[in-house]
Structure 1
Amino acid sequence: MSTITPCLWFDGRITEAAEFYVGLFPDSRIVAVTHYPEGSPLPAGMAMTADLVVAGLPLQLLNGGPHFRLDEAFSLSVTVDGGQAEVDRLWEALLAEGGSPSQCGWLKDRFGVSWQIVPVELVRLQADPDPQVVARVMQAMLRMRKLIVADLEAAARG
């Protein structure tokens, strides 16, 4: 059986990133870390890959050097079922130590990985059968950086 695991290209710091991610989400763990052998493109002994599970998702971090950069074309979308407090916790933790906020619940963490922090309430509101509700929620979301559940719900009510 084949498996698919997202692999994120890093230029260093994969062990630090792996430890940060598994500490942030429940049901997370580092599965394995491999190191470059002698004669490799990067120094022998340096971490080459980190295989981890983050909130149940298998993920691989590759320390491949400066040749490629992470960008917003690929993001990790987190559907948050814990209300505004959990949205706030993840948002602040991922922005800490050099992350940058974007629009509509997107941010980039200090390692350059793009994340979407999406409260489950937004998912529910976007599925409302009333197209006017969905349009109001969309307009409210487009004005936000971090998604605010109370403001999305207020927009839905009109």
Structure 2
Amino acid sequence: MKKTSIPKNTICLWYNQDAEAAARFYAKTFPNSKVTAVHKAPGDYPSGKAGDVLVVDFTVFGIPCIGLNGGPIFPHSEAFSFQIMTENQQETDKYWNAIVKNGGKTSECGWCKDRWGVNWQITPRTLTEAMKAGGGEAQRAFAAMMTMKKINVAKIDKARKAKAGSKR
């Protein structure tokens, strides 16, 4: 029997019955992402029948994931999200719009939700760098971010550069 490479650590995402559609969307949307296998149920299970797609192996930006079609019992929540680091406004817009315009929903502070309920943080590098810088720079960038849905890179950069005590 041939041994296959199985990652030591894999993120498992529970879907109602759309794991394959979600995985194919992620593979189409994000670089270094792909569907690597689709496994059908060998027998009936509580939310499906033998032969239904049960598990989908895929990667998102190179991170191994499994999509499990487990039924509606456990919906996604903000307790788990993918954080996607972007380099500029164009890349931020590209990923945000891909998720939101494909049946997703906007949220606050760079978060959005795809049509399957998985949460995404589309986070420009400048925001993360500001938070790591700490002090006034972090405070100003944080305050600017708190007013946004999709992150506006120019406004974050302006807040980062503002002098202490000045208005954004």
User: d(CA) in 2 for partners of 1:24 and 1:93?
Assistant: 7
Kept after mapping to 2: 8 A contact 1:77/1:115: yes
User: d(CA) in 2 for partners of 1:2 and 1:43?
Assistant: 28
Kept after mapping to 2: 8 A contact 1:84/1:119: yes
Query: Looking at CA atoms only, which structure, 1 or 2, has the larger radius of gyration?
Result: 2
Aligned residue pairs total 156
CA deviations on 1:111-131 (whole Å, 9 max, x unpaired) are 1000000011111122225x1
1:140 maps to a residue whose letter is A
Name 2:59's counterpart in structure 1: 53
Gaps of 5+ in 2: 1-5, 163-168
CA deviations on 1:55-111 (whole Å, 9 max, x unpaired) are 110011100011111111111111113x10010010000112321111110011111
CA RMSD of aligned residues (A): 1.5
Q: Percent identity?
A: 38
Name 2:85's counterpart in structure 1: 79
1:9 maps to a residue whose letter is W
2:156 maps to a residue whose letter is L
Question: How does the TM-score come out when normalised to structure 1?
Answer: 0.93
Q: Runs of 4+ in structure 1 displaced over 2 angstroms?
A: 37-41
SS in 2 for 1:127: helix
Kept after mapping to 2: 8 A contact 1:10/1:69: yes
Question: How does the TM-score come out when normalised to structure 2?
Answer: 0.88
Q: 1:150 aligns with which of 134, 154, 158?
A: 154
CA deviations on 1:15-43 (whole Å, 9 max, x unpaired) are 11111001111111111111112333312
Name 1:138's counterpart in structure 2: 142
User: d(CA) in 1 for partners of 2:105 and 2:92?
Assistant: 16
Gaps of 5+ in 1: none
